[in-house]
Structure 1
Amino acid sequence: MSTSEFSKEWRVLGFGKHPEIGAVVQARLREAGLAANVIVLTDDEAGDAVLAKELDNNEYDGVVIGSFISGQDPSLPPTEETTLWFNRVLNVIHAHAPAAQIVLVRNPDDALAAIFRVLG
């Protein structure tokens, strides 16, 4: 997918658990012409607060939830713990960025295509 396929510079926030994956995904999204910010969250109140603050301080067209948290990666099936985490982040997004579209990815390589599917 190339930059020319995007009709506008979408503002997207991505988040997940692994910093090394987040850095790669952020670089890919920015290279494609998106105003992308990818952050790493922890599964606790501090992580929820980081997400809430980021959403309060910036306006996003879409919020990309990493596959480890959302349970979308078939090789990383959801657990009770990750399901609780996923529910919490959905509620944080809903409370702090109700106009943003939710984007679920199946793996890091799916991020750009998933954003296009949801925002395009």
Structure 2
Amino acid sequence: MHGTGAVLVVGLDPVRIPGWDPEPVVKAIARGQARFEDHGIEADLCLVAPDDNPEKAIIEALARKDYACVVIGGGIRKHEPLLELFEKVINLVRQHAPGAAIAFNSTPDDTADAALRWLR
């Protein structure tokens, strides 16, 4: 791995999305983060709410350290109404972490696998 090999995971904060039970996603995110620990990879979470200035939170997270990889979660990527946010996230990563690989997970559980494709 290059540098610190740190990973930033950008996703929707399940607790801040109204109208559904966030608990299964909260648990899946925790399992996903634990898998990073199993691989000895430092992984930070940046969970955002679409209506609460997510760009600012993402820029601040990207500035914290020199990430080797940024994983963008399926909640942002797959939900059609969030297409513009997805584009913003991609462009923020390009601008604020130009050296970081960009990866996509399928579920919160396989986030470490997505990052490992680029960290190997």
Asked if 1:13 is matched to 2:8, the reply is yes
Q: For 2:10, what is the secondary structure of its paired residue?
A: strand
Unaligned runs of 5+ in 1: 1-5, 72-77
Q: Is the 8 A contact 2:8 2:69 kept in 1?
A: yes
Per-residue deviation at 1:8?
A: 8.2
- TM-score of the aligned structures, taking structure 2 as reference length: 0.77
Q: For 1:34, what is the secondary structure of its paired residue?
A: coil
Higher relative contact order (CA 8 A, sep 6+): 2
- TM-score of the aligned structures, taking structure 1 as reference length: 0.77
Identity %: 29
Q: 1:35 aligns with which of 42, 56, 60?
A: 42
Deviations 1:53-108 (A, max 9, x none): 1111211000011111112xxxxxx31x2111100111111111011000101111
After superposition, the CA RMSD in angstroms is 2.1
Deviations 1:15-73 (A, max 9, x none): 211262433322221232101111211214621101101111211000011111112xx
Q: 1:60 aligns with which of 67, 73, 78?
A: 67
